[in-house]
Amino acid sequence: MTTLLVIAKEPRPGRVKTRLTPPFTPEEAAALAEASLADTLDAVARTPARRRVLVLEGEPGPWLPPGFEVVRQCAGGLDERLAAAFAGCDGPALLIGMDTPQVTPELLTVDFADCDAWFGPAEDGGFWGLGLAAPDPALLLGVPMSTPVTGAAQRARLSGLRVRELPRLRDVDTAYDAEAVARTAPGGRFAARLARLRTTGVR
């Protein structure tokens, strides 16, 4: 069975989703981040898995459901933190972030029987999911993160492996992204939180 990894930051004002401000305040951006994380963790909790691991910067909160191991993120760049998350796995693993609250158990149920890797591209040029049948930190170290070519660079690292593609998803980075993602998952906590913020005058 697959280990499911979620890499995330504690949703604290001023530390998460800073590109949502403006139009949202830091407190509102953190509330949206918390809702996104809660939706993500709920989807992971409902997905069959060998282990469910939250690789966290900060402290756990009431948004953390039961059944998760919590591992502290290491120091260093994002490539190093992702590599370290995979290094803690001794079998197939799928890693996602906290910025795609529209994920579902169906998307996260991956089978490595006929492939070595799964790759989930993001609309902004990054990637939202990476699965490795045999986790190798070297496949991530040195990949330039948070750039328009991050996804292409990471995908290139998988050359020579049998790779299957996950659907392209949109990360929540900007207010436009938030609206678009909420429309794709209208029944989630994220969409509900965004709707409540709209009623308080945020545009």
What does the pLDDT profile of the chain (203 residues) look like in tens digits? 899 999 999 999 999 999 999 999 999 999 999 999 999 999 999 999 999 999 999 999 999 999 999 999 999 999 999 999 999 999 999 999 999 999 999 999 999 999 999 999 999 999 999 999 999 999 999 999 999 999 999 999 999 999 999 999 999 999 999 999 999 999 999 999 999 998 875 44
**Structural domains counted in the chain:** 1
Can you give the residue range of the structural domain that contains 30?
3-199
Q: Domain with 55 in it: what CATH number? A: 3.90.550.10
CA distance 55 to 39: 16
Residue 138, phi then psi, degrees to nearest 5: -65, -20
CA distance 125 to 106: 23
Q: Can the peptide bond before residue 26 be classed as cis, meaning omega within 30 degrees of 0?
A: no
